[in-house]
Amino acid sequence: MRVIFFEDLRYIKFWFPIFRLNPFFKLSFFNPFVKNKKSYLLIREEIFEISRNYFRKEKILKEVNSENALLLSSFFIPEKIKNFKENTILAFKSEKVGIFLKRAKFKNLNELLEEFNKNYDEKEIKGKFINTPFKLISEFEEILNNYLNLIKSEYKRVSKNLYSNSKISKNVEIDTKNGIVIIEENVEIEPFSFIKGPAFIRKGTIVKSGSKIYSSYIGPVCRIGGEVDTSLFTGYSNKSHQGFIGHSIIGEWVNLGAMTTNSDLKNNYSEVRLKIKDETISTGTVKFGAIIGDHVKTGIGTLIPTGAYIDFFTNIFSGGKFCPKYIPPFSWVSDKGIEVYKIDKAIETAKRMMKRRNLEMGIEYEKRISKIFKEEIEK
């Protein structure tokens, strides 16, 4: 049987700020089955070439032609992989999360999703279905700790629940009572910092002196200062100064200016609602901060409201005031309102930031940025 996880287009709108340029599967901690050598990944055609930078070529697919294929949503974490004999739709709490086909032949993801409308037998499957950012944050500590438990043997054990491939200063306080802490190689944690598990600090990251990190994933080559609580930094992003980021998801190549702070709880303790364009979405939780897209920049003192959705290539410099709750891509946000962030300036700034980390912007990556600008801004 061939096991294939597919990027689930039904829910991709919730994740667009951080996955317009990258496959969802870059978040390998989210679903440990993705790392399995026997699993394949069905990826959106428009980012297929970019995805070659992250996975070996035989692992990623943009079409399927296979017998006995088990296809599972990228947002579903199965309790275990099970074999089936007949064409079967797999459901989790009435949500269709996968399908087994004796003969699977699709040219793209849309053709695959059409199979969910066919009259196949339906069976319940156990696992977790984390199809929105706010569901991920709601179960973040458990999901992260489970993943760290799976990979801890790859790192040097320092003490109970603490594993590190980097030297830890004596003046760093690490609390592992509630979860595992793993620190990868080439990480610098400056004195008088505090980390509470579960936490994963990826390679090349610098944690500034006096920082407080609670139950968070800090991706590779980040700069972290101030306070971070139950949040995900995907990688290559800066929050070097004081300020608070809580119950939030931060994309790549983000720079949060000094004292940038978000709210993750409403004053009346009511349910947080997310706004995407003209649609208002109930999150089902009272604790959710923001999803901040790739290449977003915030100026000094930026305030981010509860349940903010900030799409990629946004530049905010309205310090001391709350920015809008929904900000579309390529936005230049100031006291004058929202203007279009010119594509040439956006790409130029992105290249400068990437060069500071000794990386060059790839041709396919740049083409994808320009294509999105044409389709959504110049239309």
Res 373 pLDDT > 80: yes
Q: Exposed (0-12), middle (13-18) or buried (19+): which is 49, by Cβ within 10 Å?
A: middle
Task: Print the domain residue range for 174.
Answer: 136-376
Cβ neighbours around 3 below 10 Å, total:
17
Percent of the chain with pLDDT over 70: 100
Tell me, yes or no, whether 104 and 61 share the same domain. yes
Contact predicate 291/254, CB 8 Å: no
DSSP for 142-155 reads HHHHHHHHHHGGGS
Tell me, yes or no, whether 211 and 295 share the same domain. yes
| pLDDT for residue 33 | 81
Residue 22 is part of a domain; what is its CATH number?
Answer: 3.90.550
Tell me, yes or no, whether 141 and 52 share the same domain. no
Tell me, yes or no, whether 179 and 273 share the same domain. yes
HSE-up (13 A, CA, CB side) for residue 199: 25
**pLDDT range class, residue 369, cuts 50, 70, 90:** very high
Distance of CA 303 to the CA centre of its chain: 21
Q: Give how far Cα 159 sits from Cα of 163, 176, 289, Å.
A: 7, 9, 33
pLDDT tens for 326-360 read 999 999 999 889 999 999 999 999 999 999 999 99
Strands 60-61, 64-73: parallel, antiparallel or unpaired by DSSP? unpaired
pLDDT tens for 57-81 read 889 999 999 999 999 999 999 988 8
Domain finish residue from 131, 163, 186:
131
Tell me, yes or no, whether 122 and 141 share the same domain. no
Tell me, yes or no, whether 127 and 142 share the same domain. no
**pLDDT range class, residue 26, cuts 50, 70, 90:** confident
Res 379 pLDDT > 80: no
Contact predicate 266/286, CB 8 Å: yes
Query: What distance separates the 2 farthest-apart alpha carbons in the chain?
Result: 62
**pLDDT range class, residue 27, cuts 50, 70, 90:** confident
Tell me, yes or no, whether 285 and 342 share the same domain. yes
> Tokens 């319940």 label which residue?
124
Instruction: In whole angstroms, give the CA distance from residue 81 to residue 306.
Output: 37
Average pLDDT, the chain: 95
Contact predicate 66/104, CB 8 Å: yes
Domain finish residue from 77, 100, 131:
131
Residue 176 is part of a domain; what is its CATH number?
Answer: 2.160.10.10
Strand partners, 2: 69
Tell me, yes or no, whether 353 and 261 share the same domain. yes
Tell me, yes or no, whether 228 and 252 share the same domain. yes
- Helix residue ranges, H only, the chain: 16-19, 48-51, 109-114, 133-138, 140-151, 343-356, 363-376
pLDDT tens for 196-252 read 999 999 999 999 999 999 999 999 999 999 999 999 999 999 999 999 999 999 999
| pLDDT for residue 30 | 74
Tell me, yes or no, whether 179 and 316 share the same domain. yes
| pLDDT for residue 81 | 87
Q: Give how far Cα 48 sits from Cα of 51, 134, 249, 379, Å.
A: 5, 27, 23, 24
Percent of the chain with pLDDT over 90: 88
Res 36 pLDDT > 90: no
Domain finish residue from 101, 131, 161:
131
Total domains present in the chain: 2
Residue range 276-302: mean pLDDT, rounded: 96
Tell me, yes or no, whether 264 and 245 share the same domain. yes
**pLDDT range class, residue 148, cuts 50, 70, 90:** very high
Residue 301 token pair: 């003192």
- Helix residue ranges, H only, 20-105: 48-51
Tell me, yes or no, whether 186 and 248 share the same domain. yes
User: Residue-wise over 64-89: b if at least 16 C-beta within 10 A, else e?
Assistant: bebeebbbbbbbbbbeeeeebeebbb
Residue range 312-316: mean pLDDT, rounded: 97
| pLDDT for residue 189 | 98
Q: Is 362 left (phi over 0), alpha (psi -120 to 50) or beta?
A: beta
